[in-house]
Amino acid sequence: MTRKIALFVTCLVDQIFPEVGVASYKLLRRSGFHVEFPEQQTCCGQPFYSSGFIPEARKLAQQTIALLEPYDAVVIPGGSCTGMMRKDYLHLFDHDPDWHHRASAVAGKFFELSEFLFNHAVLKPKHSQKLAVTYHDSCHMLRVAGIKHPPRHLLEQVGCEIREMGESERCCGFGGFFSVRLHEVSSAMTAHKLRQGSQSSAEVLVTSDPGCLLQMRSRQTQADTMRVEHLAVLLEEMAA
């Protein structure tokens, strides 16, 4: 493959879950892609945007667009940032024709990791034994980025048995600053999500969004024995 691919890892991966970035890189390289990590990458601007700090979000969006324009594709191991960069950047520049044009031109280059692998790679299982997993659809990945099937398809490719939890599309309780501002409500939502995961009888609860991963892991108790893992890490473990 000769396409020039950038890996945009997101803030949470950079600061809290670096193993997700490493796994994403390995999966892309294993699939034959030349991958670059632009070291100047920073936040995509979503926390500012969702909190109403539009000028601050716009500055980060401009920086991100300028940095990533030279690439043929930008792969992001998180549905939330993918939705922001692909859809919300356009809204940020509704009244700026030049930047709106640039945002529109790069929007088609932004891909969440699972949708990119689904369209451009075939993974093979490392082991013959099936692993029972359940999958949590994150709000932004499902409703903003519009991605549902690719993660499940890839999990099945590497030998996982999908055991759907009840209400897989229900919010895990993160919601960015929602989990801070309405902590009790957020925690109750997460406890409900973890119970639903356990009731699926799966061994691993998988999500594609680092924010959901942070939320669910941070609310687990000693009684919660189910592993909660990011899709990229599990795929890298299971793929030959």
Quick: pLDDT tens for 149-197: 999 999 999 999 999 999 999 999 998 778 778 888 989 999 999 999 9
pLDDT of 25 > 60? The answer is: yes
Q: Is 39 exposed, middle or buried (0-12, 13-18, 19+ CB in 10 A)?
A: exposed
pLDDT of residue 222: 81
User: Is-contact 193 135, C-beta < 8 A?
Assistant: no
In the block, which residue shows the tokens 């209400």?
A: 167
Say how far apart CA 30 and CA 167 lie, in whole Å.
34
Residues 6+ apart with CB under 8 A from 171: 139, 189, 193
pLDDT average, residue stretch 7-25: 97
Quick: pLDDT tens for 85-143: 999 999 999 999 999 999 999 999 999 999 999 999 999 999 899 999 999 999 999 99
Calculate the CA 215 to chain-centre distance.
Answer: 14
Query: Which region holds residue 131: left if phi is over 0, alpha if psi is between -120 and 50, else beta?
Result: beta
Residue of higher predicted confidence among 152 and 225: 152
Let me know if domain 123-238 sits in CATH 3.40.50.11810: yes
- Give residue 214's identity as a one-letter amino acid code: L
Nearest CA to 78 out of 134, 14, 3 is that of: 14
Measured from the Cβ of residue 180, the count of other Cβ atoms closer than 10 Å reads 9
pLDDT of 46 > 90? The answer is: yes
Which residue intervals of the chain are DSSP H helices? 11-15, 18-30, 46-50, 54-68, 79-83, 89-92, 97-107, 113-120, 139-143, 149-157, 178-181, 183-199, 210-218, 231-238
Say how far apart CA 149 and CA 137 lie, in whole Å.
10
Q: Which strand ranges, in their side-by-side order, compose the sheet holding 34-36?
A: 34-36, 4-7, 73-76, 110-112
pLDDT of residue 180: 76
User: Is-contact 131 238, C-beta < 8 A?
Assistant: yes
At 2, is the pLDDT very low, low, confident or very high (cuts 50, 70, 90)?
low
Say how far apart CA 132 and CA 103 lie, in whole Å.
40
Say how far apart CA 156 and CA 91 lie, in whole Å.
36
pTM of the shown model: 0.94
pLDDT average, residue stretch 57-74: 98
pLDDT of 1 > 80? The answer is: no
The percentage of the chain sitting over the pLDDT mark of 90, rounded to a whole number, equals 90
Q: Is 97 exposed, middle or buried (0-12, 13-18, 19+ CB in 10 A)?
A: exposed
Say how far apart CA 152 and CA 165 lie, in whole Å.
13
Q: Where are the domains of the chain?
A: 4-117, 123-238
- Token code pair at residue 51: 């909190």
User: Is-contact 134 165, C-beta < 8 A?
Assistant: yes
